Structure 1
Amino acid sequence: MGKGKVLVVDGNNIAYSASQSGIPQVQTLRAAIRSLRNNDYRPLVLVSAALIHNVDEPDELQAMISAGDIIQVSRGQNDDLAIIRMSQEKYADIVTNDRFLDWLDRYPWLSSRVRRYRLTPSGIILV
């Protein structure tokens, strides 16, 4: 893993973002992680416990979790809140296209830490 800036990544948001069918895609997560690392970021990718039951490649997602490439939020824990707390703890930006509207009153600093992204064939570009 690179020694660059830590980014907390909303894995659910990325997995669903390229899906035409509504089924989240592990390939999109892989490409996002690879492109962020290639640009000297250290992505901390968090996904909900439920995502593994919905993705196109559950075994591959489990392998990525087991390898430490992805952090699975505990069952029953709100993944948005886990992402926000990790961002706060690491003082890191959050890569997502979610606006976290339900959390802005409680965490007013949040809007300044959200980094939007665009998908490309090779991964993601931060915008």
Structure 2
Amino acid sequence: MPILTDTAVVVIAGLCLAALLLFLLRRRRKRQAKPVVIDGSNVMHWSGEVPRLAPLKEVVGALQDKGFEPGIIFDANAGYKLADRYLDDRDFAKLLKLPADQVLVVHKGEPADPTILAAARDAGGKIVTNDRYRDWADEFPEVNVPGVLVHGGYRDGVLWLDDDSLARFQ
């Protein structure tokens, strides 16, 4: 059995310490991440009339870069609009490279809006959407509070998010 030199032991210990610190920093960052709900069926239309995954992927990345933990909720027909077939939570999670517990497709016949609003309320988070949820304002009056709904879109091909609304949350 080979004997390790003092230098090898120090190097191995240093690598182990670095790995532990990286693990703890990632874990701490995840714990501190603020929840935000993305109206997936709305955001997938942000880059034009044709629904696409690209805006969702870009919004998810932008939110993660800002320290948010996004969850995405879709209408049941979102898969048909995007891929001409039903897509469930796992399908969308795989396409978006997200854990399955961060994606939800509501059941057929159910509107996604109350699920989105309830999820944001329960998590104490915001909603990324261009919907104003006027039909739900009586049941969810927080939609009228400035900053709860984070609007966005594309200008000259570049994603923008209402950073003032996001900043109020931080």
Alignment CA distance shift 1:99-1:62 (3 Å): same
Residue 44 of structure 2 is aligned with which of 2, 15, 18?
15
Q: How far apart are the structure 1 equivalents of 2:59 and 2:92? A: 14
Amino acid at match of 1:109: E
Q: Which secondary structure state, in structure 2, belongs to the residue aligned with residue 7 of structure 1? A: strand
Q: Which has the higher helix share?
A: 2
- Structure 2 length-normalised TM: 0.63
| Per-residue Cα deviation, 1:57-99 (whole angstroms, up to 9, x for no partner) | 9777362378425321222221011101101111211111111
Q: Are positions 1:70 and 2:103 aligned together?
A: yes
Q: Percent identity?
A: 19
Q: What 5-or-longer segments of structure 1 have no aligned partner?
A: none
1:103 aligns with: 136
Is this contact kept in 1: 2:47–2:153, CA < 8 A? no
Q: Structure 2 counterpart of 1:47, which letter?
A: F
After TM superposition, the score normalised by the length of structure 1 is 0.81
1:124 to partner: Cα distance: 4.3
Give, in whole Å, the separation in 2 of the partners of 1:100 and 1:57: 27
Q: Deviations over 1:7-53 (max 9, x none)?
A: 1111111101112xx22101111111111111111111111110001
Equivalent residue pairs, number: 125
Q: Which is greater in Rg?
A: 2
Q: Secondary structure at 2:38's aligned position in 1?
A: strand
- Structure 2, gaps ≥5 residues long: 1-28, 164-170
Which SS does the other structure have where 1:84 is aligned? helix
Higher strand share: 1
Q: Partners in 1 of 2:84 and 2:159 — Cα distance?
A: 18
C-alpha RMSD over aligned residues = 2.6
Aligned to 2:166: none
Which residue number in structure 2 is paired with residue 119 of structure 1?
154
Could you tell me how far apart the structure 2 residues matched to 1:100 and 1:48 are?
14
Ranked by relative contact order (alpha carbons within 8 Å, sequence separation 6 or more), the top structure is 1
